[in-house]
Amino acid sequence: MSIYKLKGGALYIALIISILIGVMLSIFILIAWFNQKQVLSRIGTEQLRHNLISGLNYAQSSFFMDIDNGEWKKSEYGYDSIKVTARQWGAYSLISVDTKNNHQSQLKCGIFGCSVASDTALIIRDFPRPLSIAGKIRLNGLCYIPKGQFKATDIEGSSFNPSGNINKFIRNAPNSLPELSRVFLKRLENSRQTINLKTDSLIGIIDNVDNSFRGKTAIYENSNISLNDNKLRGNIKLIATDKVVVGNQALLNDIFIISKKVLIKKGFKGIVHVLASDSIIIEEDCELEYPSSLIVFNDNEKKVSQMPGIYIGDNCKIMGDIIVTCKLIENKAMLNVGKEVEVFGVVFSSGYASLQGKYFGNVYVDRLMLKTPLALYDNHLLNIELDSHKFSSSLIIPMLFETQNKLKCAKWL
């Protein structure tokens, strides 16, 4: 029997080949593991993205309950959890959705409303007399006015001067304005309530505060608040029992002011949401950037002696929404808008309104009462432009009525 002996070098070669094969197999296993991990990570990320969309849809549905607001909910499938928080921020809805799994988390937060009604520029409640119109008039959108008629007139030297044929936009006025949503009014009332330990935290200094909407709302309370060179940005709520005064040197961005009375001084510029029970006064040359909101909501259930209202000085630019209403029907509110004012958004007054300037959006008024330095003119319009089409594709307004049901984001935060 012959015995073959391997050369000594062959054993080393076989060992090296075995090691190489082992290394290659290990590399293939690692690549497969990393690929699987990457795929699972992408699946998890995509699932979280779907959770965000679902959460935003859930927040605007009738199934969303107060008991679920701000509470973590475990998914029935997998390891996902989701928290949906919705609250009123001025006239808009502030919605944040937080979702997470074992390894990842995502958050989406924004100010939400709905689209402008692009076909309707003006609705006035019906009145026994036709509307009287004077000065420069431009219409681009349907205008529902008393008796579907207007009378050209002269007001203090300003004669009727229309831009083009305005008759094609004129329609008969309804017997009443659309009612504000009960949910909307209830949320405004809730905004005035005291601090909620689950969602809010008190602060004592407001010189320079930048608070993210990802955390709790920073709340500062006092009987009177004066803002001069303050720098306030983000998730901040100022609550005053009497009055808030905002100077033109204050830098305010996205904050929410709640008070009985609010005065914004001449030349101010910023993004603010204001809720008052008595009055808001905007002095001349102010600019409220988009999306701002001004609300006077008098929730007094007894007859008040002084008419609540919003008063806007000359040459202001309001890139947001103006809402004046009272809880008690017998109480009437007033909206007085000065000369050369531009408003981008919705205007709603359940009482009287004196309107001049340019309005890009929708205007709802119970009764017109034009106020000039010399007199009051019942059921009159002077020097006005009403255009519901120009910015209808980009403007997002608050969801004021029951019939509005599709939320859109005005601003991501």
SS3 content of the chain, % helix, strand, coil (to 5): 15, 50, 35
What residues form DSSP beta bridges with 376?
Answer: 371
Residues 124, 108 within the same domain: no
Domain presence at residue 402? no
Residue 238 predicted with pLDDT over 60: yes
Residues 164, 276 within the same domain: yes
232 and 272 in contact (C-beta within 8 Å)? no
Residues 29, 98 within the same domain: yes
Strands 158-159 and 154-155: antiparallel
Domain presence at residue 180? yes
What is the residue whose two structure tokens read 């059921």? 379
**Number of domains observed in the structure of the chain:** 2
Question: Which of 113, 135, 164 is the C-terminal boundary of a domain?
Answer: 113
Residues 100, 105, 109, 112, CA torsion sign = negative
Residues 91, 128 within the same domain: no
Residues 65, 83 within the same domain: yes
277 and 257 in contact (C-beta within 8 Å)? no
The string of pLDDT tens digits covering residues 305-356 is: 788 999 999 999 999 999 999 988 788 889 999 999 999 999 999 999 999 9
121 and 388 in contact (C-beta within 8 Å)? yes
Which stretch of 223-237, 310-324, 347-361, 388-402 has the lowest confidence by average pLDDT?
388-402
Domain presence at residue 363? yes
Give how far the C-alpha of residue 110 lies from the chain's centroid of Cα atoms, to the nearest Å. 9
Residues 41, 101 within the same domain: yes
Residue 198: CB atoms within 10 Å: 10
What does 197-226 look like in DSSP terms, one character per residue?
TTTEEE-S--SEEEE-TTSPEEEEEEEEEE
For residue 42, what pLDDT band results from cuts at 50, 70 and 90? low
The reported pTM is 0.85
Domain that holds residue 137: 120-198+266-394
Q: Which residue has the higher pLDDT, 197 or 248?
A: 248
The string of pLDDT tens digits covering residues 181-217 is: 888 898 898 888 767 777 889 999 999 999 998 888 9
Exposure b/e, 204-222, CB count within 10 A at least 16 = b: eebeebebebeebbbbbbe
Domain presence at residue 58? yes
What does the longest C-alpha to C-alpha distance in the chain come to?
133
Domain presence at residue 253? no
Secondary structure letter of residue 32 according to DSSP: H
Cα distances (angstroms) measured from residue 108 to each of 163, 198, 292, 295, 302: 45, 19, 20, 26, 42
Residues 313, 182 within the same domain: yes
Residues 102, 157 within the same domain: no
Strands 92-100 and 105-115: antiparallel
Residues 6+ apart with CB under 8 A from 353: 324, 334, 335, 336, 337, 347, 365, 366, 367, 368, 369
Domain presence at residue 35? yes
Q: What is the mean pLDDT of residues 380-405?
A: 89
Residues 190, 138 within the same domain: yes
Domain presence at residue 247? no
Residues 104, 148 within the same domain: no
Query: In the structure encoding, which two tokens stand for residue 379, read together?
Result: 């059921």
236 and 256 in contact (C-beta within 8 Å)? yes
172 and 144 in contact (C-beta within 8 Å)? yes
Cα-flanking dihedrals φ and ψ of residue 98, to 5°? -115, 130
188 and 297 in contact (C-beta within 8 Å)? yes
Domain presence at residue 244? no
Residues 27, 89 within the same domain: yes
Residues 131, 55 within the same domain: no
* pLDDT in the model for residue 3: 56
The string of pLDDT tens digits covering residues 2-35 is: 555 555 567 677 778 888 888 888 888 887 777 7
C-alpha to C-alpha distance for 128 and 378, rounded to whole angstroms: 12
